[in-house]
Homo-oligomer: A and B are copies of this chain.
Amino acid sequence: MNALSDKTVGRLSLYRRLLNGLVADGVTHVYSHQLAVLAGGTAAQVRRDMMAVGYTGSPKRGYDIRELAQSIGAFMDAPEGQGVALIGVGNLGRAILAYFAGRRPHLAIQAAFDADPYKANRVIHGCHCYPMTEMDTIAAKANIRTAIIAVPATEAQAVAAKLVRAGVRGILNFAPIRLHLPAEVYVEDIDMTMSLEKVAYFSRKGRAEKEVNS
């Protein structure tokens, strides 16, 4: 139960998704090197990540998929489930709502908020959309500690501060600015412009490849 690193948690999430896929295919066991190719990593890394969750496989049979997935779940999921709020129901916000709607039982978007009164008090992709003025009360009532920001960049800092005041401790931020918040708030930025520029750069320059001596 010691603190896991950022990257390890990300990979655990990926592993679990892959494991669930394997369960659906009827597979029962998997080796670290198999999981590694699915996850795009190395076998050593998979084993090291398993150390972090404390799950132990068996030599010659590998990992029991169902047990391992459950083990990761015990580690990552809130036992009582966890609610998420979405702020900003624009083009991106609606796509996100559509995507996450009813997909994950233990991690669902429970409420959406938008400053536009035209969008408020409607149900979008199965999620009730409230006006921003009600955010504090609803976030408190549903015990929301996690939020997704999909408002224009100019609004993001103010919205983030408001969320933190309402008790939010983790933010997934799509606005292309860096938020300034207390250190105990975890912020993950998804900066599509930055990502696209990286891809564009490397698709011209090529990835710096390790030179292989002939």
Residue of B nearest to A41 (CB): B178
Residues from chain B with Cβ under 8 Å of A17 in the complex: 176, 193-194
Copy tally for this chain in the complex stands at 2
**Least Cβ–Cβ distance between A48 and chain B, in angstroms:** 17
Let me know if A183 is at the binding interface, CB within 8 A: yes
Instruction: Give the docked Cα–Cα distance between A200 and B4 (Å).
Output: 13
- By the criterion CB–CB under 8 Å, are A184 and B207 in contact? yes
Q: Could you tell me if A186 and B172 are in contact, using CB atoms closer than 8 angstroms? A: no
Count of residues in A whose CB is under 8 Å from the partner chain: 62
Q: In the bound complex, do residue A169 and residue B206 qualify as a contact, i.e. CB atoms below 8 Å apart? A: yes
Task: Tell me which residues across on chain B come within 8 A of A104, comparing CB atoms.
Answer: 193
Tell me the complex Cα distance, A143–B176, Å. Answer: 28
Residues from chain B with Cβ under 8 Å of A84 in the complex: 196, 200
Are B9 and A192 interface neighbours, CB within 8 A?
Answer: no
Cβ-neighbour of A6 out of B76, B146, B198 (below 8 A): B198
A25 beta carbon closer than 8 Å to chain B? no
Residues from chain B with Cβ under 8 Å of A178 in the complex: 14, 38-40
Q: Contacts A184-B206, A192-B96, A195-B190; is A107 near B176 (CB within 8 Å)?
A: no
CA distance A95 to B150 in the complex (A): 12
For residue A188, CB closer than 8 A to chain B, the reply is yes
Q: A95-B92, A203-B170 are in contact. Are A10 and B192 (CB under 8 A)?
A: no
In A164-196, the 8 Å CB interface with B consists of: 168-172, 176, 178, 180, 183-184, 186, 188, 190-196
Listed A/B pairs (15) with beta-carbon separation below 8 Å: A9-B202, A10-B198, A40-B178, A76-B201, A82-B200, A91-B94, A92-B95, A95-B95, A96-B192, A104-B193, A107-B197, A107-B200, A170-B199, A172-B196, A190-B190
Contacts beyond the supplied A9-B202, A38-B178, A170-B201: 12 A-B pairs with Cβ under 8 Å: A9-B198, A13-B193, A14-B178, A17-B176, A78-B204, A82-B200, A92-B95, A92-B99, A107-B200, A172-B195, A172-B196, A172-B199
